[in-house]
Amino acid sequence: QQQVKQSPQSLIVQKGGISIINCAYENTAFDYFPWYQQFPGKGPALLIAIRPDVSEKKEGRFTISFNKSAKQFSLHIMDSQPGDSATYFCAASTRRAGGTSYGKLTFGQGTILTVHP
């Protein structure tokens, strides 16, 4: 119930295209859903995050879509650029105090994005 399932495992997109990465979760106690971007040999960087009280959040070329009833959320990268080539991780956590999972991030398996010029 703690898992977050991420797909696809890898994704190849042409420059200017749209990259879409999907995640699904089971634990209904999750109420915070961040996306992280990681370049080889570096730590993950927080990209964008959403709470379940909204269905969409946009920051620049990055958009999170959230479907609470389906327990799914996705990252859309518009106008994908070669510099976006990285591994993307979705994650989920609960912000309600108490319990052993409070504040801990559960990560998806990661998606290796390659944007061809």
- Whether residue 39 contacts residue 112, with contact meaning beta carbons closer than 8 Å, is answered with no
Which residue number, 11 or 49, has a Cβ lying nearer to other proteins? Answer: 49
Nearer to other proteins, 17 or 57 (CB): 57
Minimum CB–partner distance for residue 3 and other proteins (Å):
11
Instruction: Count Cβ atoms within 10 A of the Cβ of residue 52 and give its class: 0-12 exposed, 13-18 middle, 19 or more buried.
Output: middle
Q: Which are the contacts of 84, defined by CB distance < 8 A and separation ≥ 6?
A: 19, 77, 113, 115
Residue 108 or 115: the one with the smaller Cβ distance to other proteins is 108
CA–CA separation, 89 vs 18, rounded Å? 17
To the nearest whole angstrom, how small is the minimum distance from the Cβ of residue 110 to other proteins? 5
Shortest spacing between CB 42 and other proteins, in angstroms: 6
* Closer of 30 and 36 to other proteins (Cβ): 36
Q: How far is the CB of 83 from other proteins (least distance, A)?
A: 18
The residue type at 95: R
Using CB under 8 A, list all residues that contact other proteins: 32, 34, 36, 41-46, 49, 89, 95, 103-105, 107-110, 112
**Which one, of 24, 14, 39, 1, lies nearest residue 75 by Cα?**
24
